[in-house]
């Protein structure tokens, strides 16, 4: 299957090939023909499957004919977070480079003046978060009567964030004769109700969800006795003892994102926080610095990090065990991409047992455990007083802290033969997919037994293999 086979125009094909894509991903191959025919679709797919191009490409094609009137956008894309909205806008700019479509972003944290000027000129594509859109609508700044295409992206995340009433309110404001595409990684009953009420006989297109992490992700569980202070110490020890290049540290609460970030920085680590309370400009700048390697550790909440297209991360640390097992898969999927080795380390106290069990049920295997004592020993054995990701206040002479995990085993074994080395613990970890334990009750994910990464189906784009 090629993009030509999907019936896209030469202008669009040119932009796609400049983006470096050689073939459509499974979700694109399924969704694009339906959308080009004007049908409603329900896409069961999550970030990483190429779903954004799956709806932006046909939208560009459909909107190419026609012109927008002042304050009456012709299409609307709803996103749960500002970051996702911004990413979709970036996608539009790439794929729409040979078209003259206008686009506006309606998200919190961006000045009203700038947004209003754009809306007044007329936009073909409006990308918005639900709250800001309703706000602008209620101020009379925007009319929704000309919307021909609606996309609701990450619907299950909208649900988690309490946005469904807003989404429903918006759907009621739109003309009934329109095309609707909804994307969701899962189908909770509330989303099903929305699709039944506001979509016209939608075609269901589906790619297997990533019920297992990539085999290249080495997962470990670190049992911590105590509370948040002990967890912070364990996190520092882990960062020091691991061969960390760059990492995301996930916390369940915004409050803890701030605390952990400050604590890491106080201890000299090159960290920054990413959470929903930060001004948009700060969030964007932080992400850019992280992508550029100027920041090594991003401390983030699930919501802030959801869908961020940051590849090639060496480590994911779960400062907290996520309360939803799905989030665990999302989090650890940030590392071990495109065949590279990645590490996912989860700190757990006894209060987390229930959540750990849920995760292990979902991934179908037990996560190998390491104790904090082993890590502390490891830090001492490796390098007593320096952290690999320290901000460079004083020049570092040694590079030996960036040891390979295999070397680490030897060091540790030499230093303290009676203690179990971290790397040895790793070898006992059954990676997801190579499980012996079968998932118990959770049958939602039919592809669970597959041992490969399922996010893009069998498709691994050529550019990812480079």
**Binding residues vs ligand AMP (CB under 6 A):** 21, 24-25, 28, 47-53, 309, 461, 463
Q: Cβ(236)–Cβ(267) under 8 Å?
A: yes
Least distance (Å) between residue 209 CB and ligand AMP: 12
Residue 127 DSSP class: E
Residue 226 DSSP class: S
Question: Is 321 exposed, middle or buried, given 0-12, 13-18 or 19+ CB atoms closer than 10 A?
Answer: buried
Q: Which is nearer to ligand AMP, 45 or 142 (CB)?
A: 45
Helices of type H across 174-292: 189-198, 228-241, 254-266, 280-292
Strand partners, 343: 218, 315
Distance CA 155, CA 167 (A): 9
301 contacts: CB under 8 Å, gap ≥ 6: 250, 251, 252, 253, 254, 257, 274, 275, 276
Q: Vertex 429, ends 441 and 410: CA angle to 5°?
A: 170
Q: Which is nearer to ligand AMP, 57 or 249 (CB)?
A: 57
Q: Which is nearer to ligand AMP, 25 or 301 (CB)?
A: 25
Least distance (Å) between residue 222 CB and ligand AMP: 30
Q: Which is nearer to ligand AMP, 49 or 286 (CB)?
A: 49
Token representation of residue 278: 């930060």
Question: Reduced to 3 states, what is the DSSP secondary structure of residue 90?
Answer: helix
Q: Cβ(102)–Cβ(115) under 8 Å?
A: no
Least distance (Å) between residue 6 CB and ligand AMP: 11
Q: Which is nearer to ligand AMP, 320 or 453 (CB)?
A: 453
How many Cα atoms within 13 Å fall on the side-chain side of residue 314?
Answer: 14
Least distance (Å) between residue 295 CB and ligand AMP: 20
Q: Which is nearer to ligand AMP, 20 or 226 (CB)?
A: 20
Residue 421 DSSP class: P
Least distance (Å) between residue 220 CB and ligand AMP: 27
Least distance (Å) between residue 271 CB and ligand AMP: 25
Q: Which is nearer to ligand AMP, 21 or 290 (CB)?
A: 21
Q: Cβ(282)–Cβ(355) under 8 Å?
A: no
Least distance (Å) between residue 233 CB and ligand AMP: 36
Q: Which is nearer to ligand AMP, 23 or 383 (CB)?
A: 23
Least distance (Å) between residue 5 CB and ligand AMP: 13
């Amino acid at each position: 299957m090629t993009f030509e086979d999907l019936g896209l125009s030469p202008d669009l094909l040119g932009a796609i090939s400049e983006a470096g894509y050689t073939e459509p991903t499974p979700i694109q191959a399924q969704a694009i023909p339906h959308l080009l025919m004007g049908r409603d679709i329900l896409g069961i797919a999550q970030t990483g499957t190429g779903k954004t191009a799956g709806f932006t490409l046909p939208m560009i094609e459909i909107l190419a004919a026609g012109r927008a009137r002042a304050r009456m956008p012709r299409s609307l894309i709803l996103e749960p977070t500002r970051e996702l909205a911004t990413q979709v806008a970036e996608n539009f700019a790439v794929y729409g480079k040979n078209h003259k479509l206008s686009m506006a972003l309606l998200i919190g944290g961006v000045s009203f003046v700038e947004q209003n000027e754009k809306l007044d000129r007329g936009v073909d594509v409006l990308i918005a978060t639900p709250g800001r859109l309703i706000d602008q609508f209620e101020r009379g700044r925007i009319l929704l009567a000309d919307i021909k295409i609606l996309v609701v992206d990450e619907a299950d995340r909208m649900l988690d964030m309490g946005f469904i009433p807003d989404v429903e309110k918006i759907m009621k404001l739109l003309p009934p004769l329109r095309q609707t595409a909804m994307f969701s990684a899962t189908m909770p009953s509330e989303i099903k109700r929305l699709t039944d009420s506001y979509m016209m006989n939608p075609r269901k297109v589906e790619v297997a969800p990533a019920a297992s992490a990539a085999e290249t992700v080495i997962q470990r569980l670190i049992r911590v006795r105590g509370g948040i202070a002990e967890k912070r110490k364990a996190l520092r020890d882990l960062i020091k003892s691991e061969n960390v290049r760059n990492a995301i540290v996930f916390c369940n609460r915004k409050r803890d994102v701030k605390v952990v970030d400050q604590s890491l920085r106080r201890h000299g680590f090159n960290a920054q926080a990413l959470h929903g309370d930060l001004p948009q400009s700060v969030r964007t700048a932080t992400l850019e610095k992280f992508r550029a390697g100027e920041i090594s550790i991003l401390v983030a909440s699930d919501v802030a990090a959801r869908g961020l297209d940051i590849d090639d991360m060496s480590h994911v640390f779960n400062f907290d065990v996520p309360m939803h097992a799905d989030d665990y898969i999302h989090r650890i999927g940030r590392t071990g991409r495109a065949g590279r080795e990645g590490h996912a380390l989860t700190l757990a106290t006894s209060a987390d047992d229930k959540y750990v069990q849920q995760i292990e049920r979902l991934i179908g295997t037990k996560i190998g455990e390491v104790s904090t004592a082993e890590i502390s020993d490891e830090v001492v054995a490796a390098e007593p007083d320096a952290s690999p990701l320290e901000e460079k206040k004083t020049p570092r002479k040694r590079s030996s802290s960036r040891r390979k995990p295999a070397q680490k085993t030897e060091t540790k074994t030499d230093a303290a033969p009676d203690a179990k080395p971290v790397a040895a613990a790793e070898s006992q970890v059954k990676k997801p997919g190579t499980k012996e334990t079968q998932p118990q009750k959770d049958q939602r994910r039919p592809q669970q037994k597959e041992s490969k990464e399922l996010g893009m189906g069998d498709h691994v784009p050529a550019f990812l293999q480079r």
